Structure 1
Amino acid sequence: NMEKAASRIMAGKTLNAGQICLAPDYAFVPQEKTAEFVGAATKAIETMYPSGLKDNDDYTSIVNQRHYDRIMSYIEEAREKGAEVHELTPAGENFSQQPHRKIPPHIIVNPGDDLKVMKDEIFGPILPIKSYGETKDAVAYVNAHDRPLGLYYFGEDSTEKDYVLNNTTSGGVTVNDVIFHVAQEDLPFGGVGPSGMGSYHGRDGFMEFSHKKSVYTQTGSEMLAMMRPPYGDKFRGQVKGRIKR
């Protein structure tokens, strides 16, 4: 359901203007449905922000000027290198003159992997979308890059869903939505590899932030005396038995 998927993805991408760790960094869209997704995403913005974005208290500003400039540079670089960029401003507002560092949602279609928007964590309201032909190609792309904190699958095909989940590694997964796995207190939340290590929530949080102190008590016998100098034949025999040739 492209309309439902786009609505939920854009809700996650515009939540705090994308300034959350679980905001989707990019989306894979079937090759023949790219235009449909852009249209559905635009409709989603119209629905969520009917009065516009610029002076809407429901739409967040970028936290400071440095991050505003960084995010704008991603958009400018994409345009300069010929990428297809869509600015989602259904009310036709002009954001060039405004005091609040607001950036409207942008979609960049099939950006090259050399662009900064595909190299850095965006942390802003830009959504690159990449076209794919077969599910295995999307999975291969995910696996060729750093392990994500969150992975989101949309669809009703349980076989395809299982294929994606069983063949990718991520901190967590939300199916048919974004972000919401973090809100499940009974599920461990955390990253893997570059997206973090360890997890918390519930029992997992208790174990993560607890320290297990190891205590070992040696036996009273001196059967390990051979492990102390001077080393003799028994020690050499132990070492010889552990050498792999």
Structure 2
Amino acid sequence: MATWNTIFIQDSASPLMEQLMFFHDHSLMILLMITVLVGYLMSSVLVNKFNYRYLLEGQEIELIWTFIPAIILIFIALPSLRLLYLLDETINPLISLKSIGHQWYWSYEYSDFKSIEFDSYMIPSNELPTSGFRLLDVDNRIVVPYKSQIRLMVTAADVLHSWTIPSISVKIDATPGRLNQMSFFLNRTGIFYGQCSEICGANHSFMPIVMESISSEYFIKWIMKMSS
């Protein structure tokens, strides 16, 4: 049975995701208004075609059908370009996190701290705890502080992968021999799930991503524990 989160967009955990959800609703409302208007005009012409000939011919209606779509495209393009710029912007990151895709698991390195690196494997169904999520939980989670700018660097060791967590608006390709980067900002604590979004082989569905967002105090304790 489908749940609310599997049908609609996941709850936002970052300002960029909030903006993407706003743009989604903004574009959907424009499309809905266009559909209603065009549907009404077409049905009116079909039912009363002799009374609505001005909708089919004349210089005025041709100008209207030309300028209105151009204005609509401007209302869609401006917020879209703004979002593209924000998604590519990296602003004074507090922590740099490197992710390496393998067949079929992820490796992580905290570049700002010495000797903090680990592999993250999916927990098999027969070892999954009662509170775990099948095909989504991993043995080693990424831990980051919330209300902090995080720089994510992604690459791959073998084939193409894609590091994706929908709730924080992150989807970036992991390409062998190339280092891609992007940044994100978490505005709340929690555990966020994602998966590889590139068809990378037979076990493509079995390399999930789990990120845990915690306070700065607990993050420092976690760093000290991992460094020891």
Q: TM bucket by the smaller chain?
A: under 0.3
Where relative contact order (Cα < 8 A, 6+ residues apart) is larger, the structure is 2
Structure 1 or 2: more strand by fraction: 2
User: What TM-score comes out, normalization by structure 1 length?
Assistant: 0.23
